[in-house]
Copies of this chain bind each other. A is one copy, B any other.
């Protein structure tokens, strides 16, 4: 079972990008079933106002092989929420892998799943703050450190999932997911966005 954490203010694409890839893995390439989980089951409003709902609450959540933690500005509030941190810590200890997107890495750090010295990725805006917590932040699209997989901001969770599926189930499975999700993105950079001096190294390296 692959669990997807929801909390008030989670960033929509942080969760739904990986959800689409993981549910395609389940539908077309024998990947695990997927479930959304929050402190309580039921409605959760996301960062940009999308109305979603969690399938199960923490106490009813089945055993998870994998757990994905999305980000959003609200991740900084979740860092102070003991119930969610306890859930993330406990499930990360028994899962085969834990994955974060964007500022979800701050939740993993607050839960002690990402520990000082470990390598991780995050949104380009969060790099300095995560380094201040002792994390060795990689300026890459995604990063793996043992069983902890983390990605850069928002849309990077899709690349993280394809890499993770390739690792867990092989390149052919990842290819089936990529083809069904038609994930062959346009490489265009609009308005020189990639040349922002605050952007991380992998962004600035783009043509």
With a CB–CB cut-off of 8 A, which chain B residues contact A53? 43, 51-53
- Contact code string A152-194 (vs B, CB < 8 Å = 1, else 0): 1111101100110010001111111111111111111111111
CB atoms of B27 and A48 under 8 A apart: yes
Check A196 for interface membership: any CB of B closer than 8 A.
yes
Nearest B residue (CB) for A35: B49
Counted per complex, copies of this chain come to 2
Contact segment of A9-17, A75-83, A92-100: A9-17
Pick 12 A–B contacts, CB within 8 A, sort by A: A12-B19, A12-B23, A16-B17, A19-B48, A20-B48, A20-B155, A50-B52, A141-B186, A155-B181, A162-B188, A175-B191, A179-B199
Which residues of A does B touch, CB under 8 Å?
11-13, 16-17, 19-20, 23-24, 26-27, 34, 36, 43, 48-55, 102, 123-124, 141, 152-156, 158-159, 162-163, 166, 170-194, 196, 199, 202-203, 206
